[in-house]
Amino acid sequence: MLGAPNNRKYIRLIAVVLVLPALLFTGCRCLAESRDGAFATGHYRNLFAANGHSQQEIRGKVDAAFQQLFHGDPENQSVYYPAGHNSNGPLAYITDIKHHDVRTEGLSYGMMIAVQMNKKAEFDALWNWSKTYLYHDSPAHPSFGFFSWEAKTNGAVLSEAVAPDGESYYAMALYFAANRWGNGRGIYNYKEQADALLANMRHRAPIRGPVFSLRRDTNSNFTVTAGALFNEEHKMVLFSPSSEHGAFTDPSYHLPAFYELWARWGPAGDKEFWMAAAAASRDFFPRAAHPTTGLGPDYANFDGTPVTNSWNRGAANFRFDAFRTAGNWSVDWSWWGKDVRERELSDRLQAFFEGKGMDRYGCQFTLNGQQLDDRHAQGLVAVNAVASLAAADPRSKKFVEALWNTPTPDGLERYYEGLLYMMGLLHCSGEFRVWMPQ
């Protein structure tokens, strides 16, 4: 009995010796991951250079694509259009040529491209147009604090509903602008605008009321209840905050790379939520992706299962929204390096598309790989190249070279294809970066 205390000390010592290395290993593994990502290192992989292209060639390709899409022939090349002035300065919009409308998706993508390219004039003009024509400042409106997702090129709203991918890119582009250029006044106090938008995206209280939408050339007002853009329980972005659509998500709206930055730069009280949202998205991607093809649906439930509904019967398939999902998980790996499953997903997806033929795979599929559309979409080529930021298999170089050999989109499809293409060039050249506070 006199030796029992010493025995207990000995047992505790043995436990420490056995457990401590495991704890240290776990801690070192997390630390290594955070040190490996571009956010920590400041090194952004130039996939084109790794394929043997010179920096002069790369710079020329990126600049030429921007010039064509933003300032090229307005009849066949450009998607960016100046639209006069108001008291805040110049206005400009980006239009979906095929559908003759303006969308928060395109406006916010255009702002992101502009800040990455150091094009402040274009950035400010797009933001001014967004705030002038699309922003809801009435506290009684269900979309208060957000933006109508769709309008005509003259600013007349086609739908007062909210599409959260636009708000997500607006917020991130505004933080980058604040960090790169500094803040101005009014709507050009970028950080103030981003903070307010981000707070609403999480906290905006539900509001019930009419929302206008033009459908099949018929003016309609729908009474809905709409609130925040993220589901608080699941820590996931909603496809829509409107009760009309129901509670589900869009895998291509998940942007964990951005959420990590919002946790650091956004309202201090929301840090834990955005970190949890990043982790939730990383867990979500493998659940939403098919175990063989790596393809994900346009819309999904919070558990990753595909959504089907009466107003979009193809939502359970890999379609145009779903193009973007692989880019989201690959950029997250490139910047943060926190979840090795993102590498596995890119390898799986690229293996599927390689098997379909590098120069002829289509752009719409069932999740198990049945091809539904033969068009070889330039935007999908671009995102599949971005997937190489995470991919480990050497085949990834083929996808980078496929983007290099793809011309800048023009003609009828140049809106969506062109914006994904432009962002793809920036990602693959190492020029799509985290702009840090100065």
Element (H, E) at 164: helix 164-181
Quote the pLDDT of residue 43: 97
pLDDT at residue 144 above 90? Answer: yes
**DSSP label at residue 136:** -
Q: 1.50.10.10, 3.40.50.2300, 1.10.3720.10, 3.40.50.620: which CATH number matches 43-77+248-432?
A: 1.50.10.10
Could you check whether 43-77+248-432 and 79-237 share the same CATH topology?
Answer: yes
Residues 6 or more apart in contact with residue 317 via CB below 8 angstroms: 297, 298, 306, 364, 365, 366, 367, 372
* pLDDT tens digits, one per residue of 179-194: 999 999 999 999 999 9
Instruction: Read off the amino acid at residue 218.
Output: T
Q: Which of 146, 112, 159, 124 is nearest to 422 (CA)?
A: 112
Mean of the per-residue pLDDT values for the chain?
92
Can you give the three-state secondary structure of 261-285, one letter per residue? HHHHHCCHHHHHHHHHHHHHHHHHH
**Which bin fits 145, alpha (ψ -120 to 50), beta or left (φ > 0)?**
left
* Residues 39-48, mean pLDDT to the nearest whole number: 97
Quote the pLDDT of residue 361: 98
- Indicate if 321 belongs to the active site: yes
CATH architecture for the domain at 79-237: Alpha/alpha barrel (1.50)
* pLDDT tens digits, one per residue of 330-361: 999 999 999 999 999 999 999 999 999 999 99
Domains of the chain: which residue ranges? Answer: 43-77+248-432, 79-237
* pLDDT tens digits, one per residue of 104-117: 999 999 999 999 99
Quote the pLDDT of residue 310: 65
Quote the pLDDT of residue 245: 77
pLDDT at residue 210 above 60? Answer: yes
CA distance 27 to 31: 6
Q: Which of 101, 105, 165, 260 is catalytic?
A: 105
Residues 6 or more apart in contact with residue 56 via CB below 8 angstroms: none
- CB contact at 8 A, 377 and 323: yes
Q: Which of 167, 250, 298, 321 is catalytic?
A: 321
- Indicate if 347 belongs to the active site: no
**Which bin fits 225, alpha (ψ -120 to 50), beta or left (φ > 0)?**
beta
Window from 19-23, 150-154, 374-378, 401-405 with minimum mean pLDDT? 19-23
Q: How confident is the model at residue 34 (pLDDT cuts 50, 70, 90)?
A: low
* Residues 188-211, mean pLDDT to the nearest whole number: 98
